[in-house]
């Protein structure tokens, strides 16, 4: 059977690309190495335009909007123990924060509104391909000018905030605003998500804003959804599970894919990969320009997050439990990772979704396959101690296991860190940010492309629109 397009990977971005192509009249096959869909929730903002275009609401899309959106244990101090719970209602959060810091409570509304404005600027950037700074095309120059005008209309403070905050560390940003260690810890944790960096590293304020995109003012955790499941329920695209595919690219032209298990070749004039850039392009390195190949090899994709589940006898009341008592706690957790060690006292979040308790544990650095039973058991014990649970209640898989099972380079779930040198027109590498590759007919559409991980569907839509 012949196809007009082949898509590698049945995650959110791969399926979004496939359905946009199918709706344009193309016969599309998606090849996915997993035998079944990942039961974990999709984390991040699903753009409204993707939901509307593909009719995801009718396909059973559920986007969780928990309230309170986060719960943090308090250890004595002015709060006298107990917990801090932040609400989707800014006024209720102000009252909760007032118990630990009246000064921070007074600043909370302005902080929330200014961060929301900056996240709104990013949202506008994320729904289109990255700006082409070398272009002389009048339409592209007009688009860049339009973005500048949009920012200017947000007011002088927004212009100042963009220039000042994006390169800052999340520590510098939060120290400017707040005094409470607890408040700064729970906010600072978002700034180091999926980065092999501590909260004092430059650019972590940008990472904080990136993950705030799509959330309302005062909510600093991205939404969770079943968007991949909803996309899988849509008709019009053929999906083949349990097959790992590599690109066929003789003479610098993509002609299809070859399946690893059977050796079967499937041909199509258009091949699109939602896998990470390194694992997609390294097998065809002989067809690449050496400079481009070197840039791909140097993409920073240092996995530091272990994921898993927590099993408790009864379902807890919280929606998200955050164990990040202070910025110093996060920095000390990173100190271990700098030397390739798992954090002795890791940052842990427990996220409740569809009755499951999913774990985010940081830092658990990729060790190039050096994972072993002793390390795994020690990590589960430390996470259990942080949560006050039994080790048998904690199930985790490390970045090494993520790479082994699913092929993600160094186990990085976002296919490349969201550092300042790997965003916008520099993602995945400078000069090739618009989803094309030097191999004719081969495109990228995954989290390793603009706008990056944590925005399921945005890269897939942008890439499809570029192809069409």
pLDDT score of 371: 57
Please state which of the ranges 200-214, 358-372, 454-468 shows the lowest mean pLDDT: 358-372
Is a pLDDT exceeding 50 seen at residue 77?
no
Residues 393 and 434 in one domain: no
Residues 286 and 434 in one domain: yes
Write the pLDDT tens digit of every residue in 177-235: 999 999 999 999 999 999 999 999 999 999 999 999 999 999 999 999 999 999 999 99
Strand partners, 63: 225
Chain-centre distance of CA 209, in angstroms? 12
Residues 42 and 145 in one domain: no
Q: Distance (Å, rounded) from C-alpha 329 to C-alpha 325?
A: 6
Is a pLDDT exceeding 80 seen at residue 1?
no
- CATH number of 461's domain: 3.50.50.60
pLDDT band at 364; cut points 50, 70, 90: very high
Residues 446 and 347 in one domain: no
Q: Distance (Å, rounded) from C-alpha 362 to C-alpha 348?
A: 7
Tokens encoding 303: 């996995």
Phi-psi map region of 441: left, alpha, beta (phi>0 left; psi -120 to 50 alpha): left
pLDDT band at 23; cut points 50, 70, 90: very high
Residues 118 and 231 in one domain: no
**pLDDT mean over 434-442:** 95
pLDDT band at 81; cut points 50, 70, 90: low
DSSP tag of 253: B
Is a pLDDT exceeding 70 seen at residue 163?
yes
Owning domain of residue 113: 88-221
> Does 277 fall in a domain?
yes
Q: 207 vs 368, which has greater pLDDT?
A: 207
Residues 209 and 102 in one domain: yes
Q: 422 vs 158, which has greater pLDDT?
A: 422
Residue 211, helix vs strand vs coil: coil
**pLDDT mean over 146-158:** 82
Residues 432 and 283 in one domain: yes
> Does 81 fall in a domain?
no
> Does 79 fall in a domain?
no
Q: Distance (Å, rounded) from C-alpha 380 to C-alpha 308?
A: 10
Write the pLDDT tens digit of every residue in 251-310: 999 999 999 888 999 999 999 999 999 999 988 888 888 899 999 999 999 999 999 999
Residue 103, helix vs strand vs coil: helix
Q: Distance (Å, rounded) from C-alpha 65 to C-alpha 223?
A: 7
Helices H / strands E in the chain, number of each: 16, 18
Return the exposure string of 387-407: e unless at least 16 CB atoms fall within 10 Å of the residue's CB, then b.
bebeeebbebbbbbbbbeebb
Chain-centre distance of CA 223, in angstroms? 11
Residues 230 and 295 in one domain: yes
Quick check: 407 and 32 in contact, CB under 8 A? no
pLDDT band at 346; cut points 50, 70, 90: very high
Nearest alpha-carbon partner for 108 in 253, 217, 256, 190: 217
Chain-centre distance of CA 465, in angstroms? 21
Tokens encoding 52: 């509307």
Q: Distance (Å, rounded) from C-alpha 272 to C-alpha 29?
A: 10
Q: Distance (Å, rounded) from C-alpha 229 to C-alpha 141?
A: 38
> Does 42 fall in a domain?
yes
Domain edge (last residue) among 367, 383, 411: 411
The enclosing H or E element of 362 equals: strand 356-362
Residues 94 and 216 in one domain: yes
Residue 292, helix vs strand vs coil: helix
Residues 423 and 285 in one domain: yes
Domain edge (last residue) among 195, 221, 247: 221
Please state which of the ranges 102-106, 367-371, 387-391 shows the lowest mean pLDDT: 367-371
The number of domains in the chain is 3
Alpha-helical (H) ranges within 240-304 are 277-281, 290-297
Residues 208 and 324 in one domain: no
Domain edge (last residue) among 221, 238, 259: 221
Nearest alpha-carbon partner for 215 in 47, 8, 94: 47
> Does 74 fall in a domain?
no
> Does 327 fall in a domain?
yes
> Does 199 fall in a domain?
yes
**pLDDT mean over 431-443:** 94
Q: Distance (Å, rounded) from C-alpha 85 to C-alpha 165?
A: 26
pLDDT score of 370: 61
Residue 245 phi, psi (nearest 5)? -115, 140
**pLDDT mean over 352-373:** 86
Nearest alpha-carbon partner for 47 in 467, 451, 433: 451
Cis peptide before 68 (omega within 30 of 0): yes
Supply the pTM of this predicted model. 0.95
Quick check: 444 and 418 in contact, CB under 8 A? no
pLDDT band at 143; cut points 50, 70, 90: confident
pLDDT score of 78: 38
> Does 80 fall in a domain?
no
Q: 151 vs 253, which has greater pLDDT?
A: 253
Residues 427 and 285 in one domain: yes
Computed over every residue of the chain, the mean pLDDT equals: 92
């Amino acid at each position: 059977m012949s196809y007009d397009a082949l898509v590698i990977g049945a995650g959110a971005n791969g399926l979004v690309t496939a359905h946009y192509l199918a709706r344009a009249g193309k016969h599309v096959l998606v090849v996915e190495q997993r035998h079944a869909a990942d039961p974990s929730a999709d984390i991040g903002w699903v753009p409204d335009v993707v939901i509307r275009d593909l009719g995801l609401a009718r396909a059973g899309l559920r986007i969780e909007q928990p309230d309170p959106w986060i719960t943090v244990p308090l250890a004595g101090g002015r709060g006298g123990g107990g917990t801090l719970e932040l609400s989707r209602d800014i006024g209720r959060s102000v009252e909760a924060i007032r118990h630990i810091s009246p000064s921070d409570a007074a600043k909370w509304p302005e902080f929330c509104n200014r961060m929301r404005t900056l996240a709104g600027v990013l949202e506008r950037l994320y729904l289109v391909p990255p700006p082409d700074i070398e272009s002389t095309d009048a339409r592209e120059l007009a688009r860049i000018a339009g973005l500048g005008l949009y920012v200017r209309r947000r007011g002088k403070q927004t212009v100042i905030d963009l220039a000042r905050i994006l390169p800052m560390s999340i520590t510098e940003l939060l120290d400017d605003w707040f005094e409470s260690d607890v408040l700064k810890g729970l906010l600072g944790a978002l700034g180091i998500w999926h980065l092999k960096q501590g909260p004092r590293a430059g650019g972590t304020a940008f990472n904080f804003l990136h993950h705030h995109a799509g959330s309302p003012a005062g909510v600093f955790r991205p939404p969770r959804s079943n968007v991949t499941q909803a996309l899988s329920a849509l008709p019009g695209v053929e999906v083949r599970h349990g097959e790992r595919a590599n690109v066929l690219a003789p003479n610098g032209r993509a002609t299809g894919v070859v399946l690893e298990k059977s050796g079967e070749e499937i041909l199509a004039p258009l091949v699109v990969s939602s896998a990470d850039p390194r694992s997609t392009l390294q097998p065809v390195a002989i067809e690449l320009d050496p400079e481009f190949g070197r840039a791909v090899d140097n993409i920073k994709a240092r996995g530091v997050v272990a994921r898993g589940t927590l099993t408790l006898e009864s379902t807890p009341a919280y929606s998200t439990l955050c164990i990040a008592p202070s910025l110093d706690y996060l920095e000390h957790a990173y100190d271990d990772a700098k030397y390739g060690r798992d954090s002795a006292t890791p940052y842990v979040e427990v996220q409740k979704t569809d009755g499951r308790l999913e774990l985010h544990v940081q830092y658990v650095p990729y060790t190039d396959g050096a994972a072993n039973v002793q390390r795994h058991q020690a990590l589960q014990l430390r996470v259990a101690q942080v949560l006050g649970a039994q080790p048998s209640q904690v199930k985790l898989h490390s970045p090494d296991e993520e790479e082994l099972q699913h092929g993600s380079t160094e186990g990085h779930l976002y296919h490349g860190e969201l550092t300042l040198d790997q965003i916008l027109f520099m993602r995945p590498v400078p000069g090739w940010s618009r989803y094309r590759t030097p191999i004719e007919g081969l495109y990228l559409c995954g989290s390793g492309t603009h706008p990056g991980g944590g925005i399921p569907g945005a890269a897939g839509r942008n890439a499809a629109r570029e192809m069409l």
